[in-house]
């Protein structure tokens, strides 16, 4: 909207009387009709969307619980089944809500400088988190855990560790939480609350008490980047760099180079 010679030049028209109205107008200043709020669902649609998102989260939760408590992650084939189930389930949702999600796959803000700065921040963050978590685990729980040991008996163990710990989560967790979940929540509530909720649910799903303290800020950062950049690609790069750094730090600690 712009003002020329005391007149408003507007691109927006009232949905009822077709008169030009200000872009930010909730009501038409000519006929008084409430303009549609395209970013907000009505009450019934909100409840339907909540149920859809609850089913999405619930299915992820059940798969994670089964894999954690039945030791299904021990061995490559069971792990592939679990990861495959989560990935397929996420893809089904992405396909079902493609119209709403396709804008996230555009990359208008593409910049090598941004990629480098996000990637280096992720690497620095991963190094700091790795040492802090190791210290906390040793101090409080008197234990240490390594992703690599789940695959150490396999050929190409390091490559498999990077694929399952870094690549698969970077793609599918981003699609699930910064894609399906955050976009769905954006239609229910405002974008800040959507970032917080999707970050909280992402953290909960990892079912690790110690991880809560770094996963929550990490997920908030990913959610913020996705909102600011209006694309899911930067989040995937950050997530991949973060997890890959964690894998390489393990290899380094275990003298695998």
Partner 1 sequence: MTDSQPVPDAVVIADCKCCFEKTNLSDQFCKSCGFPLQGTEEQQNSFIYERGYKKMQVNELTNKASRASITFYIISGLMFISALVLFFINVRNEEAVPNLIVYSIIAVLFLLLGVWSNKKPVAAIICGLSLYVVLILLQAAVDLSSLASGFIIKILIIAGLVKALISALEAERIKKQHNI
**In the complex, which residues of this chain contact partner 1 (CB under 8 A)?**
3-4, 6-11, 13, 19-22, 24-34, 37, 40, 42-43, 46-47, 50, 57, 61, 65, 68-69, 140-141, 188-189, 193, 196-197, 200-201, 204, 207, 209
Q: How far is the CB of 97 from partner 1 (least distance, A)?
A: 19
Q: Residue 247 contacts by C-beta under 8 Å, 6 or more apart in sequence?
A: 147, 148, 158, 161, 162, 165, 166
Q: How far is the CB of 116 from partner 1 (least distance, A)?
A: 33
Q: Which is nearer to partner 1, 111 or 189 (CB)?
A: 189
Q: How far apart (Å, rounded) are the C-alpha atoms in residues 39 and 202? A: 23
Tell me if residue 4 falls in helix, strand or coil: strand
Q: Which is nearer to partner 1, 8 or 254 (CB)?
A: 8
Q: How far is the CB of 193 from partner 1 (least distance, A)?
A: 4
First CA to last CA across the chain, in angstroms?
61
Hey, which residues does 2 pair with through a beta bridge?
9
Contact yes or no for 12/1 (Cβ under 8 A):
yes
Q: How far is the CB of 135 from partner 1 (least distance, A)?
A: 15
Q: Residue 159 contacts by C-beta under 8 Å, 6 or more apart in sequence?
A: none
Tell me if residue 108 falls in helix, strand or coil: coil
Q: Which is nearer to partner 1, 85 or 127 (CB)?
A: 85
Q: Which is nearer to partner 1, 65 or 256 (CB)?
A: 65
Q: Which is nearer to partner 1, 143 or 255 (CB)?
A: 143
Q: How far is the CB of 203 from partner 1 (least distance, A)?
A: 10
| Phi, psi dihedral angles at 19 (to 5 degrees) | -80, 150
Q: Outline where 103-232 has alpha helix (H).
A: 112-136, 157-162, 168-173, 182-188, 191-205, 212-229
Q: How far apart (Å, rounded) are the C-alpha atoms in residues 178 and 191? A: 12
Q: How far is the CB of 57 from partner 1 (least distance, A)?
A: 7
Q: Which is nearer to partner 1, 33 or 154 (CB)?
A: 33
Contact yes or no for 220/195 (Cβ under 8 A):
yes
């Amino acid at each position: 909207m712009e003002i020329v010679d005391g007149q408003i030049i507007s691109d927006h028209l009232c949905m009822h009387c077709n008169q030009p109205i200000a872009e930010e107008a909730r009501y038409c200043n000519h006929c008084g009709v409430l303009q549609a709020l395209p970013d907000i669902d009505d009450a019934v649609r909100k409840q339907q969307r909540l149920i859809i998102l609850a089913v999405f989260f619930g299915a992820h939760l059940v798969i994670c619980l089964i894999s954690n408590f039945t030791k299904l992650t021990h061995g490559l084939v069971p792990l592939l089944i679990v990861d495959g189930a989560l990935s397929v389930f996420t893809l089904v949702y992405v396909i079902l809500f493609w119209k709403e999600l396709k804008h996230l796959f555009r990359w208008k803000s593409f910049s090598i400088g941004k990629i480098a700065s996000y990637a280096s921040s992720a690497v620095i963050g991963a190094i700091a988190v790795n040492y802090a978590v190791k210290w906390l685990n040793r101090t409080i729980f008197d234990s240490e855990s390594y992703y690599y040991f789940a695959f150490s008996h396999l050929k190409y163990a390091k490559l498999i560790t990077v694929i399952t710990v870094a690549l698969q989560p970077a793609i599918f967790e981003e699609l699930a939480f910064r894609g399906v979940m955050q976009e769905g929540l954006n239609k229910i509530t405002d974008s800040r609350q959507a970032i917080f909720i999707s970050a909280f649910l992402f953290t909960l799903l990892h079912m690790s008490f110690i991880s809560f303290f770094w996963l929550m800020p990490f997920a908030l950062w990913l959610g913020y980047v996705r909102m600011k950049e209006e694309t899911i690609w930067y989040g995937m790069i950050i997530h991949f760099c973060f997890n890959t750094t964690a894998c390489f730090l393990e290899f380094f600690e275990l003298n695998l180079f």
